[in-house]
Structure 1
Amino acid sequence: MIKIITPSNTVELICLIIAIFCLAKDKSLFWKIAIIYMAITFTTETVASIMSKIFHQYNVWLYNLYILVEDSFVSYGLYKFLKEYTNPKPIIIVGSGLMFISYCFDLYSHGIAELHNITINVSAIIFVVYGLYYFLLLLKDDNFIRLKFHPQFWWVVGVLFYYFGGTIINLFNEVLFVKVSTSHYLRWYIYILLNLLLYSFWSYSFICRARQRRLHL
C-alpha cells in the first residue's frame, strides 16, 4: 500500500477533498467539473503508480490519454475566465487546434506507448500565453476586485506557475537530468514542487469560490 502513495497523488487527494467540500453545492458548471477533473487526476496518478510499482508495467500510455482530459479542462477554465473580459473563442479555437494537431502528430510518430512530449510542450506554451492574457485583461479592469479572495485569479495563478515551470524544465531538460538521490533526478523534484504549487493554488481558489458563493459576491 505504501508503494502507491506518492507526493503527487497525496496532494491531488487533498485538493480533491477540498474541491468536494467547497464545490459540491456550486451551481456553476466549471466548478462542478473541477471536482470530476480532480477525481480523474487522482485516479490516473494512483493507477499509474500501481501499474509501475506493484505490477511493474509500462504506464506512459495512461498519461498520454490523460493529456486529453487535462488540456480540455484547463482550456475550458481559461475560456470561462477570459470570457469575463473579452470574446476568447478565436484564440481558444486556435490553441485547441494546435494542441489537437500536436497530439495527432505524436500519436502518428510513435504511438501511444511513448510520452507525447510535443503535445505537452505546445500545451504548456499555449496555457502560459492564455494566463498572461488573462492577467493583462485583469489589470485593465476598472472594477475593484479583492484579489485575495478572487477564485478565478488564484486558479489562473496555479496554471501559470505550473505550465511556465514545465516549459522551463523542458527547455533545460538535459541540465536538470542530474541525479540528486538514489532513485530520482532533479527534474522529478522540481515537478513535485510544481504539482504542490498548482494544487495549493487551486485548493485556495476552491475555498475562495465557496466564500464567494456564501457571500453571494
Structure 2
Amino acid sequence: MFIPFLLLTCVTELTGIYLREFLHIRNYPIYNVYLLFECGFTSYFFYYLYQPYNYPVKWLYTWYAIFMVIYLSELFRLNFLNFPSATASIMSVVFVFACLYFYYLKLKDEHFEPLLYSASFWWVNGALFFYFGSTACNNFMDYLASHESIIYNKSIRYVIYNILDILMYACWSYAFICRYRQRKLSPL
C-alpha cells in the first residue's frame, strides 16, 4: 500500500502546484480530499507497526471516526470553502504522539533490534520530523505570515514545508533501503 500512497501524494502535489502556479486558482479542494487518504494511510501504518505489541484494531477505528467527525464539522463550518487547517493540526499532533508511543514500545520491547538498520524506526523518524514540524509551523502561522516574502518570492511557510518534506522522504528512503536489506538477508 505504500507505493500507491506515494504515487497519490505525488499526483496530489503536482496537481496542487499546477492549479496554483499555472491556472492561478486555489488548490484546497485537492488537499481536502488528500487529507482523508493521508490520515487513513498513516493511521493504518501506525496500526501495522503496533501489531507486534498486540495493539487492538478498535483504537484505529475509534481514531478514524473521531478524525472524520472533526474533519466534516470543520468543513461544514467553513462551507467547504477552505482547507480544514485545525483538523490537519489535530491530526499532526495525534501522529506526533503515535511516533512517541512507538518509541516507547521499542524501548520496552525485549527483542533487540539495531535502530540503525530498523526500517520501522526510520519511517517513524520521518513521520515525526514532518508532523512535529508541521504542527509547529501551523501554531506559528501568524508569525510566519508577518514575514511572508523571502527568497524566490515564496513564503517562509512554503520553504519550511519543503525542508520538512525533504527530511521525511530522506528518512523514508533510508527505511526502504533498510527494508530491502532485511528482505535480502532473511531466508525464504
Q: How would you bin the TM-score normalised by the shorter chain?
A: over 0.9
Q: How big is the shift at 1:165? A: 0.9
Q: Which runs of 5+ in 2 are unaligned?
A: none
The Cα offsets for residues 72-120 of structure 1, whole Å up to 9 and x where unpaired, read as 1100110000112231434323322221111111221113330111210
Q: Which runs of 5+ in 1 are unaligned?
A: 1-32
Which stretch shows the higher mean deviation, 171-180 or 207-216? 171-180
TM-score normalised to structure 2 length: 0.92
Partner-residue secondary structure (3-state), 1:76: helix
Residue in 2 that maps onto 1:139:
107
Cα distance in 2 for residues equivalent to 1:112 and 1:207: 40
Runs of 4 or more above 6 Å deviation? none
Q: Does 1:67 align with 2:42?
A: no
Which stretch shows the higher mean deviation, 46-55 or 72-81? 46-55
Report the RMSD for the aligned CA atoms in angstroms: 1.5
TM-score normalised to structure 1 length: 0.80
Residues 116-195 of structure 1 aligned to structure 2 (within 5 Å):
116-177=84-145, 178=147, 179-181=149-151, 183-195=153-165
Cα distance in 1 for residues equivalent to 2:88 and 2:6: 19
Cα distance in 2 for residues equivalent to 1:182 and 1:48: 19
Residues 62-141 of structure 1 aligned to structure 2 (within 5 Å):
62-141=30-109
Q: Does 1:212 align with 2:152?
A: no
Residues 2-81 of structure 1 aligned to structure 2 (within 5 Å):
33-81=1-49
More RCO (CA 8 Å, sep 6+): 1
CA contact (8 A) 1:131 1:156 kept: yes
CA contact (8 A) 1:98 1:122 kept: no
Aligned residues: 185
Cα distance in 2 for residues equivalent to 1:180 and 1:54: 21
Identical-residue share of aligned pairs (%): 33
